[in-house]
Structure 1
Amino acid sequence: MRVAGLGFKQDVTLASLREALEAAGGPDGLAAVATISDKADAEALKQLACECGVPVRAVPADVLASIHTPTQSEFIVEKFGTGSVAEAVALAAVGPRARLIASRVVSQDRTATAAIAEGDGP
């Protein structure tokens, strides 16, 4: 199972999410896109999921603090207790034996991040 984790600002566009996903490796083979629960209903995210033909998986914020990520953003560590929302939600959505196959990448406008994890599934 392969899942793209996405972190983004409230004003993100579909184009920015798409750009970040493409930079992380693209949508081929994805089973889902994942993000933090409070952003799972974002219109741009739902549009991206629809384009990719996959569901959106919502990951509760309290789950992120227990996930170590290779990328470490001080701001994200202070806010969520993990270094990268995109990496953490990708890993959480795949399950306990998940591994990152694409570390966090950032869209040019810096409103979206994406990472891809794969594993056996939850």
Structure 2
Amino acid sequence: MIVAGFGFSERATDTSLEEAFAALQQRPDRLVTLRHKAVSPVFQTFARRHTLPVDSLEDDQIAGIVTATQSPRIQARFNTGSVAEAAALVGAGTGARLIQTRYVTTDGLATVALAEMIDR
């Protein structure tokens, strides 16, 4: 299973989310983001358009997740380097690995990363 983790500002637009999605190297099976973002009308519309299910996480579920990239602002707020990478890893499950590190949209309002479950 391939999971796209999203992080985004409340100012993110549909264009922001579409740019992030277009940057993905593979189509995900699911989208995952923080609970308070998952209910955003712009994110819900985006997910429906792409016919992808949305999973949501609590902030504490991504705390302490080691990520490939680091944002000092995100580290200070969420205790992880990247919301997108951490959400993708947690969403893909125990033993998941990143297959695409964080992409930041040109407007800086959205990030996305891909993770997949490693076959055991």
Tell me, yes or no, whether TM beats 0.5: yes
How far, CA to CA, are the matches of 1:90 and 1:25 in structure 2?
14
**CA offset digits 1:61-80 (Å, max 9, x no partner):** 00111310011111000000
**CA offset digits 1:40-94 (Å, max 9, x no partner):** 1011211221122111110110011131001111100000000000000011111
Runs of 4+ in 1 over 4 A off after TM superposition: none
How far, CA to CA, are the matches of 1:100 and 1:72 in structure 2?
14
Name stretches of at least 5 consecutive residues in structure 1 with no aligned partner: none
- SS of equivalent to 2:103: strand
- SS of equivalent to 1:48: helix
Q: Please name the residue that 1:102 is paired with.
A: 100
Which of 31, 34, 42 is matched with 1:33 structurally? 31
- SS of equivalent to 1:83: coil
- SS of equivalent to 1:4: strand
Contact 1:105 1:113 in 2 (8 A): yes
Q: CA RMSD in A?
A: 1.4
Q: State the aligned residue count.
A: 119
1:120 positional shift: 5.4
TM-score for both structures, normalised by structure 1: 0.92
Contact 1:94 1:120 in 2 (8 A): no
Contact 2:97 2:118 in 1 (8 A): no
Instruction: Give percent identity, aligned residues only.
Output: 41
How far, CA to CA, are the matches of 2:9 and 2:73 in structure 1?
13
Q: Please name the residue that 1:82 is paired with.
A: 80
Q: Please name the residue that 1:17 is paired with.
A: 17
Q: Please name the residue that 1:68 is paired with.
A: 66
Name stretches of at least 5 consecutive residues in structure 2 with no aligned partner: none
1:104 positional shift: 0.2
- SS of equivalent to 1:68: coil
